[in-house]
Amino acid sequence: MLADIVVGLQHGDEAKGKVTHHLCKDGNYTHVLRFNGGGNAGHTIYHEGKKFITHHIPAGVFHGIKSIIGSGCVVNVRAFFKELEMLRKGGIDTSLVKIASNCHIITNNHLDEDEKDKTIGTTKRGNGPAYKSKYERSGIQAKDALELRPFIIDLYEEFHNNNDVRILCEGAQGFELDIDWGDYPYVTSSHCVAASALLNGIPPQAVRHIWGVGKVYDTYVGQKRFEPDEDIFSMLRHIGEEYGATTGRPRQCNWLDLDALNRSVNINGVTHMVLNKIDVLEKVNRWCLKHKGKLQSFKSRKDMCDYIINNSTFKSKSKNVYFSGNKHSIL
């Protein structure tokens, strides 16, 4: 068995779906696995000239790869079937979409409970209450939902009783929203770190590469104050189209925090790093980041990119760092 992991390094919305879609193109994977989150995720993917936004289903579906909603996820059954229909209408074959038998279900009661939130700023998709039921041992597993039975698989049987299994693990949200490592309580309800992928039946020794995905600036959606009072951040939001793929809410913008990025890189064990939206900084012609409590300004893209590489705790060679301004590719 071999496994590569795609993980968000910031507050989500880093284009993990794009990176997963790009890595699928070489056809080296037998499975793509979503390992956390649920309908609160929104992965924007451009495929054959069409734009798709997926919430549950992994990006492998666009490449004819078996695509599994993993045991660390929670699923809204109605939303799942709507997503299948959306993909089919877009010409995508969904016959290889599967759901782990021990994945948990979001119920109407979970949705109602989530609507009451006024403090955290959740997406109101029922994820938190569904995870709460899971850990209270009162939840419903996917294997017990009659309408999902055609999609159910056992992850152990799938990964350990087959030969030449090569898994690409697609994470949701980002490290800064992790239930343990984020700015609690302004976090999501699942584990967003790379290690969370292993909870889907993948042994640690199977992991080959960990792709950390971020942006050259940072964004956040939620209740806490994140964006400074400067016009430049409104420009970043407008030019970068920084509106939530799930809720449509405007994302608060700020400069990249290199210290926070290094923390995320270290804890996730990143071997390859993609920093997206470099084209947005080119359009506003401002090259800034925060490091060691100070705002650092640069004269050019090259100066800022070199600074990130030289001051990052990312230990791999610079050839494994990609600064991307392309919606379709990491290059």
Residues with catalytic annotation? 13, 43
Among 192, 195, 181, CA closest to 16 = 192
- CA 11/CA 9 separation, integer angstroms: 7
- CA 90/CA 87 separation, integer angstroms: 5
Q: What is the CA radius of gyration of the chain?
A: 19
Structure tokens that stand for 207 in this block: 């992991």
DSSP H helices, the chain, are: 16-24, 77-89, 108-114, 127-135, 155-160, 231-239, 258-268, 278-284, 301-311
Residue 62, SS3 per DSSP: helix
DSSP 25: T
Half-sphere exposure of 164 (CA within 13 A, CB side): 3
N residues, the chain: 331
